[in-house]
């Protein structure tokens, strides 16, 4: 079985962040509060998303005392917006190939149910992955720092003998799959645009067994699926 992470494996998470900022800016512009491009520029120049929302809310509050555009409001818009994101160039052809040769495809991702499902829908992944093979941490009540998401997927596919997991984050993507005897593959962050840096020191059991530079190179490892 072929199992993949979502964020920074099937698409660039920075694109999701940008899409969320644009969604906030669109509303602020429509309400005559601030031009969308200024909102996006402001948030992108912040050191992180949470800080950006706090600083922008404080600025809007000064100009429009009592306005509804609080940091909490921005978080809500960000989490619930339908994102404008696209799969990495070779993702869809690769998934089509896997499907054509009869390999079952699963997704294991950490995050909120609504947010991750919006991404999956926007990326058009529904035609490749059966509903029971989409594992989202909020829905199973545990994230990838535990064995639960991986065991949940395995328990739903008891006929499968081999599992391969591809992800990007050595902090949590490979430890439990390694422990469970899965094949693990890291998609290298060649452009250094990932949200979570791969340049971190981790113990051997957290390291991927293989590293590839593009998603399509996973086709070299089909014997492990």
Binding site for Mg ion (CB under 5 A): 5, 7-8, 168-169
Q: Identify which of 1, 73, 72, 86 has the alpha carbon closest to the alpha carbon of residue 31.
A: 73
- Locate the DSSP E strands across 149-220: 164-167, 183-187, 210-212
* CB nearer to Mg ion: pick between 24 and 108: 108
Which residue, 7 or 186, has its beta carbon nearer to Mg ion?
A: 7
The residues, any chain, with a CB within 8 Å of residue 41's CB and separated by 6 or more, are none
| Cβ closest to Mg ion, residue 5 vs residue 189 | 5
Closest CA to 105 of 117, 91, 115: 91
Q: Minimum Å distance from CB 194 to Mg ion? A: 8
Q: Nearest residue by C-beta to Mg ion?
A: 7
Smallest gap from Cβ 31 to Mg ion, in A, equals: 34
CB count, 10 Å around CB of 155?
A: 8
Please report how close the Cβ of residue 116 comes to Mg ion at its closest, in angstroms. Answer: 11
Min separation Cβ 191 and Mg ion, Å: 15
Nearer to Mg ion, 11 or 69 (CB): 11
The answer to whether 73 touches 61, Cβ cutoff 8 Å, is: no
Between 39 and 110, CB nearer to Mg ion: 110
DSSP per residue, 89-121: TTHHHHHHHHHHTT--EEEEE-S-HHHHHHHHH
Output the smallest distance, CB 169 to Mg ion, in A: 5
Q: What is the strand order of the sheet 105-109 is part of?
A: 134-136, 105-109, 2-4, 164-167, 183-187, 210-212
């Amino acid at each position: 079985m072929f199992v993949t992470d979502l964020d920074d494996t099937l698409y660039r998470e920075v694109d999701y962040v940008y899409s969320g900022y644009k969604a906030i800016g669109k509303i602020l512009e429509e309400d005559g509060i601030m031009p969308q491009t200024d909102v996006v520029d402001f948030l992108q120049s912040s050191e992180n998303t949470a800080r950006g929302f706090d600083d922008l809310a404080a600025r809007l509050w000064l100009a429009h005392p009592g306005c509804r555009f609080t940091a909490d409001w921005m978080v809500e818009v960000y989490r619930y917006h339908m994102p404008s994101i696209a799969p990495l160039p070779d993702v869809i052809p690769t998934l089509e190939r896997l499907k054509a040769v009869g390999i079952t495809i699963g997704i294991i991702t950490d995050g909120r149910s609504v947010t991750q499902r919006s991404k999956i829908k926007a990326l058009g992944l529904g035609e490749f992955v059966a509903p029971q093979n989409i594992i989202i941490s909020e829905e199973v009540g545990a994230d990838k720092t535990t064995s639960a998401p991986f065991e949940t997927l395995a328990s739903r596919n008891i006929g499968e003998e081999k599992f391969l997991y591809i992800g990007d984050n050595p902090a949590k993507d490979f430890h439990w799959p390694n422990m469970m005897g899965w094949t693990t593959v890291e998609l290298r962050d060649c452009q250094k645009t990932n949200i979570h840096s791969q340049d971190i020191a981790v113990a051997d059991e957290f390291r991927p067994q293989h590293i590839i530079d593009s998603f399509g190179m996973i086709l070299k490892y089909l014997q492990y699926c």
